[in-house]
Amino acid sequence: MAVQPAQSAGTARRDLSGDALAQEVFDRFAQTEPARFRELMQALVRHLHAFAREVQLTEEEWFAAIQFLTRVGQTCSDTRQEMIMLSDVLGLSMQVIGINHPAVDGSTESTVFGPFYIADPKVYPNGADLANGAVGQPCYVTGQVRSTNGGPIAGAVLDIWQADEEGLYDVQRPDLTEPQGRGRLIAGPDGRFAFWTVKPEPYPIPTDGPVGVLMHAANRSPMRPAHIHYMVSANGYQPVTTHVFSTGDPFLDVDAVFGVKQSLIGQFDRHDPGTAPDGRKLDQPYYTMEYDFVLAPASNGTA
């Protein structure tokens, strides 16, 4: 279907179907303001009607789609965002991220936000234990936040969240009274940060809702490779929302939400029981992982 500019007054606007119907819907948005909203809606109409015509969409199929989207919305809550998860498994989240957050001059690449972020997490001192009782093998994470010119970024803010060894985030455990595997750190004057957590493990995205039904119907794996979420920001710099994945994970190439990038893979090293780098003594094996984040100056060039 090739939608044309708005039709002139007096054109018949009854008994519409096919391309004529799509054209009329397109034209109804011709006077919409602002211009960006008009562009979005007319493009949506153009592609949506073209899709329906291309696949010869049946009424039963369209009603099933409406029911599915209704269930997706109804599943959303303060601690679960099923709509984000739908966007993720369709690859749309990564498509939008690629458009809006290209890496600049070697800055850390962005990836999906995910459905389990909680705003304003508890602030911990550098070196603290963010696991806070989460099940899993101890893991000591260190790194530095730098600018693209190589200098450290003092006082950078890092929001961190992850699933535990059983693949569950704290918000998926209704019996918890305190956050686990989640917190906020403030980088030191040298841009460095450190924290204890548990080693991340691969896990399936939640399959008990409508997105899970979709994945099952499509015969797609719901698995995500092991990762830790980060949101890193600092005054005068472009923030980044990203993950750090575990090298060698069997699901790196089949991530259910298409979020893996080679530059975001880190090395988790296993150590025998003993004294950890921060002096902590452990009577069980533990892991260490070091990963640096690089932020690009804000577009106004104030950094």
Per-residue pLDDT of 62-75, as tens digits, reads 999 999 999 999 99
Q: Which range of residues forms the domain containing residue 51?
A: 18-55
Q: Is it the case that residue 290 has pLDDT exceeding 60?
A: yes
pLDDT digits (tens, 9 = 90+) for 126-155: 999 999 999 999 999 999 999 999 999 999
Q: How many CB atoms lie within 10 A of CB 182?
A: 25
41 and 176, same domain (yes or no): no
CATH code of the domain in which 180 resides: 2.60.130.10
104 and 181, same domain (yes or no): yes
47 and 93, same domain (yes or no): no
44 and 94, same domain (yes or no): no
Q: Is residue 150 part of a domain?
A: yes
Q: Is it the case that residue 303 has pLDDT exceeding 80?
A: no
Q: Is it the case that residue 189 has pLDDT exceeding 50?
A: yes
Distances (CA, A) of 89 to 14, 40, 210: 40, 23, 12
50 and 101, same domain (yes or no): no
Domain total for the chain?
A: 2
> In terms of pTM, does the model score above 0.75?
yes
In the structure, what pLDDT confidence band is assigned to residue 7 with cuts at 50, 70 and 90?
low
Q: Is residue 302 part of a domain?
A: no
- Termini Cα distance of the chain: 48
40 and 102, same domain (yes or no): no
CA 129 to chain centre: 24
Q: Is residue 28 part of a domain?
A: yes
Residue type, 134: A
> Token digits for 127?
């070196």
Residues 6+ apart with CB under 8 A from 214: 68, 86, 89
